[in-house]
Chain A
Amino acid sequence: MTDQQKSYSDPISYAAPRTLDEAAALLSAGNVTVLAGGTDLMPQTQSGKVKFKPLLMNVRRVAGLGGIAEAAGTIRIGALATITELLQSELVRDRLGILWQACEHFASDQIRNAATIGGNVCNASPAGDTLVPLLALNARVLLVSKPNGALVERRLPLAGFFVAPGRSQLAASELLAAVEVPLPPRGFAGEFFKFGTRPGLDISAISMALGGVRENRTLRDVRVAFGAVAPTPIRGPKTEAALEGRTLDAAAIETAVAAALADIRPISDVRATDWYRRELVGNLLRRMLSHVCER
């Protein structure tokens, strides 16, 4: 690497604020690249895909941005919670099973130990592993800024938060403080499935989350979300409507597959063709629904 390239790829200054107030104040001044786990930021900046803003702000030492806790029917996952911490959380395993499963399929141990849920959300990848179950779980994001000398909070549903690959409604002056997940109804269960050629580390060719409350051979409160089949992770409203309250027989499953194919808008890229993605979604939905029927 030449010296010129090196200085080009380096921020000019660095800050590691200790409080949310301090971090929000730095952000409101503008020109900040936010660092948390670094597992996406480092390769993106090294490859030149993302250029550093003049100030690199490391939020890892900001108090109050970690932890996973339940209060008043909502599970709050601090932005700095690592994927390993989510896997170790009984609350996540017992109540947010599809998110826990996605964490199990997330990259490698070394990356799970560093990567944060806030980073996965802010990176806004159409293939982001935690985003698909979070969408299915009706998650919200808590965004904090300091526009006029006082901290302001804004909550947005995750559905609608992502606008394009790598882009979300997060303003440059805002920091993602937490992901909030309303407790799913008792009995809510589901599956997360990710397809890639190397089980964990591969970026998904497609991913899916399906959940609901099972009553005999029907599903109630059905939630379906897909990854890597559209410019952003998406919910599958047509699939959900096709499944809600229906007896899960062969005909209902085929109706749901047709609905899923109408929900998704896959493209061809290095990981898979659009045709292959459609095949995968159809076959995996059939497989997941037959698992649900067998339980």
Chain B
Amino acid sequence: MSANVEIDFTLNGVGRRVSVTPGMSALTLLRDVLDLTGTKYGCGEGECGACTIRVDGVTVNSCLMFAVDCDGREVVTIEGLASDPRAQRLQQKFVEHGAVQCGFCTPGLVMQANHLLDVHPHPGAAEVQRGIEGNLCRCTGYKKIVEAIQDSGSESVRSELTL
């Protein structure tokens, strides 16, 4: 039997203390323990990016991260982007460009696109394609997603999360 580990971390700006097993993934912690189901389980092995979250200012696959490693860190999920001005603009551009079909990849793509705009505020198509190479979409063929992200970067909207 595994002994549970108590961890303290910041989740979407709020301090949390939870008890996790040592082998649990951050994705399982978010979805099954904390009921934050915006972060999706796609492949479980880092290939698809549906589980993308932001940890200490960079994006990671939450399915590959151990929940215990959240201890002391600042975690942002798609729910935490809901009121962020730039993420709202991204969301709006995804809608305008028809970049959402089944929608399963969308939270991960918005997380990754938001991070991409931190690094490249006005990305070209090649930069967008490179930035989202870890995110799979099986519906859209990516064209509309790339256009939506580029369009989001056409005007500067400051993210309140940018470190």
Chain A residues packing against B (C-beta within 8 Å): 7, 9-14, 16, 35, 37-39, 41-43, 45-47, 52, 56, 58, 60-61, 84, 107-111, 113-114, 199-201
Q: CB < 8 Å: which of B46, B47, B69, B135 contacts A60? A: B69
B5 within 8 A of A: yes
B157 within 8 A of A: no
Distance, CA A37 to CA B23, complexed state (A): 14
A35 / chain B contacts, CB cutoff of 8 Å: 66, 69
B133 / chain A contacts, CB cutoff of 8 Å: 108-109, 199-201
B1 within 8 A of A: yes
Number of interface residues of B (CB under 8 A): 34
Main secondary structure of the interface of A (DSSP, over half): loop
Distance, CA A113 to CA B58, complexed state (A): 7
**Smallest beta-carbon distance B78→chain A, Å:** 14
Chain B residues packing against A (C-beta within 8 Å): 1-3, 5, 21-25, 44-47, 49, 52, 58-61, 63-66, 68-69, 71-72, 112, 115-116, 131, 133-135
A42 / chain B contacts, CB cutoff of 8 Å: 25, 45-46, 63-66
Q: CB < 8 Å: which of B44, B65, B131 contacts A114? A: B65
B23 touches A9 (CB 8 A): yes
Q: CB < 8 Å: which of B22, B44, B47, B112 contacts A109? A: B112
B134 touches A107 (CB 8 A): yes
Distance, CA A111 to CA B60, complexed state (A): 6
Extra 10 A-B pairs, beta carbons < 8 Å, given A43-B44, A110-B134? A7-B1, A10-B23, A38-B66, A42-B25, A42-B64, A58-B68, A109-B59, A109-B134, A110-B49, A110-B52
B115 / chain A contacts, CB cutoff of 8 Å: 109
Distance, CA A20 to CA B136, complexed state (A): 39
B68 touches A16 (CB 8 A): yes
Nearest to A35 among chain B residues (CB) is B66
A84 touches B58 (CB 8 A): yes
A14 touches B59 (CB 8 A): no
A46 / chain B contacts, CB cutoff of 8 Å: 25, 44-45
Q: CB < 8 Å: which of A7, A11, A114, A200 contacts B60? A: A114
B47 / chain A contacts, CB cutoff of 8 Å: 201
A12 touches B65 (CB 8 A): no
B66 touches A58 (CB 8 A): yes
Distance, CA A84 to CA B45, complexed state (A): 19
Q: CB < 8 Å: which of A10, A39, A201 contacts B2? A: A10
Q: A14-B68, A43-B44 are in contact. Are A110 and B61 (CB under 8 A)?
A: yes
B60 touches A113 (CB 8 A): yes
Nearest to A55 among chain B residues (CB) is B22
